[in-house]
Amino acid sequence: MRRRGFKLNNHLSQEFELDLAPLLAVMVKLVPVLLVSSAFVQVMMIETDLPQVVKEAIQKEEKKPSASVQLDINGKSGIRVIVEKAGNQNIEVIGLKADGSFNYGQLQQKLVEIKIQNPEVFRVELNPEGNIPYKEIVKIMDEARKARDKNTHFPVYDSKAGKEVETDYMFPDVVFVNVMEG
């Protein structure tokens, strides 16, 4: 018997269309979730020119802080000045002026008083509410940075010279404590 030459004709198309609609639907839903869940907070440092003695004192204080100074800024009640030293907390409120603006003169006086009592502290922690304008925060930072009175100086130890020198810087190291909040 002779076999017939039977040849399979396999002309079936191996091509098919891939339905990407479900994948695109997942991506459309996933992208906004990822964007919302990611933090858009950019933590940055602004380097300023400070005398070397003050820089060294700031670095020394970072290793072993002796006290902390915090300013809670509220647009309705004013500025709460919180000084914590050796487990004790002292809170004073600097109220707003009659016109509703911050009392920068009284804030400056209070910060000078705190600096005289704590000459080794160079850091102030700012905790402004979300509705405080940026220019007001900058003014408060300026009040904390240096004493207005040119005759007011604060002692700082110069390790290279081996003696105390004077500086007019009060709190040049400003840290925002509510950076991760809304």
Let me know if residue 47 belongs to a domain: no
46 within some domain: no
Mean pLDDT of 116-128: 89
> DSSP readout, 66-132?
SEEEEEEEETTTEEEEEEEETTEEEEEEEPBPTTS-B-HHHHHHHHHHHHHH-TT--EEEEEE-TTS
Residue 7 pLDDT greater than 90, yes or no? no
CATH number at residue 123: 3.30.420
The 10s digit of each residue's pLDDT in 27-64 is 898 888 877 776 665 666 666 677 777 777 777 777 77
Q: Establish if 17 belongs to a structural domain.
A: no
Query: Does the residue 118 lie in any domain?
Result: yes
**Structural domain total, the chain:** 1
pLDDT band at 180 (very low <50, low <70, confident <90, very high): low
8 A C-beta contact, residue 140 and residue 107: yes
pLDDT in tens, 63-121: 777 888 999 999 899 999 999 988 899 999 999 998 989 999 999 999 999 988 988 88
pLDDT at residue 182 above 60? no
By residue range, what is the domain housing residue 129? Answer: 52-176
The whole-number average pLDDT for the span 7-13 is: 59
Residue with tokens 């399979």: 8
Is 6 contained in some domain? no
What's the pLDDT at 9? 60
Mean pLDDT of 15-35: 84
